[in-house]
């Protein structure tokens, strides 16, 4: 019986380790391009372009980080321009932070998840790594929508699921109800930088 229990625990550990390894990146080569894809939080509404999180992340990482954020964009609109961005920028890694406008507009979660899944599929078909960033539900707790964790598990990609909700709860980090200020975008960039390090990209 003890031998059987040990075997079960060993197999469980194996599957956990396998899952973790699938959610990691190969280290980016020198000169690789990172695309920050998303809506107003990526564009940097509330601060100057130089204070947006992609600009800060470029300084932190030493890699070119393209700011491909469009204020007000839904995932359906993002999916339309996604392929064009890939063809123009030839990134090795995409940071996907989108879905907030879907949530604000009460777009069905299934539709949002499908749009994001299609973006991830397009990136992976082109051998481009994806880091997903979770966006919170409309609630007082600012917990990320469950669809982001589901997508990360389905596609075996790393997920930064806490930072946006954490910053949303702190008025000292915000320029208005939705967007961040300079300190907020700095914290967002630092959290994404740390996740990229933990995942092996940097």
Cα(167)–Cα(197) distance, integer angstroms: 21
pTM of the model: 0.87
Task: Indicate the average pLDDT of the chain.
Answer: 90
Tokens of 39: 């809506």
pLDDT digits (tens, 9 = 90+) for 112-162: 999 999 999 999 999 999 999 999 998 766 789 999 999 999 999 999 999
Question: Pairing relation of β-strands 129-133 and 159-160?
Answer: parallel
For position 197, what pLDDT does the model report?
97
Name all domains of the chain by residue range, CATH numbers in brackets: 2-198 (3.40.50.1110)
User: For position 140, what pLDDT does the model report?
Assistant: 62
For residue 139, the model assigns a pLDDT of: 76
| Cα–Cα distance, 159 to 191 (Å, whole number) | 11
Return the H-helix or E-strand segment holding 64.
Answer: strand 64-69
In contact, 97 and 160? CB cutoff 8 Å = no
């Amino acid at each position: 019986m003890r031998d059987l229990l040990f075997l079960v625990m060993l197999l469980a550990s194996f599957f956990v380790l396998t899952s973790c390894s699938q959610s990691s990146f190969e280290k980016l080569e020198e000169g690789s391009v990172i695309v920050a894809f998303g809506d107003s939080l990526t564009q940097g509404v509330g601060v100057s372009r130089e204070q947006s999180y992609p600009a800060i992340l470029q300084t932190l990482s030493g890699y070119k980080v393209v700011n491909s954020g469009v204020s007000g964009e839904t995932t359906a609109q993002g999916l339309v321009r996604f392929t064009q961005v890939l063809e123009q920028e030839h990134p090795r890694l995409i940071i996907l932070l989108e879905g907030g406008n879907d949530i604000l507009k009460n777009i069905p979660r299934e539709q949002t998840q499908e749009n994001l899944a299609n973006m991830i599929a397009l990136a992976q078909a082109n051998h481009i790594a994806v880091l997903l960033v979770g966006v919170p539900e409309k609630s007082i707790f600012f917990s990320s929508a469950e669809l982001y964790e589901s997508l990360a598990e389905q596609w075996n990609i790393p997920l930064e699921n806490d930072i946006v909700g954490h910053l949303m709860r702190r008025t000292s980090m915000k320029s208005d109800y939705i967007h961040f200020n300079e300190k907020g975008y700095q914290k967002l960039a630092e959290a994404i930088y740390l996740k990229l390090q933990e995942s092996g990209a940097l």
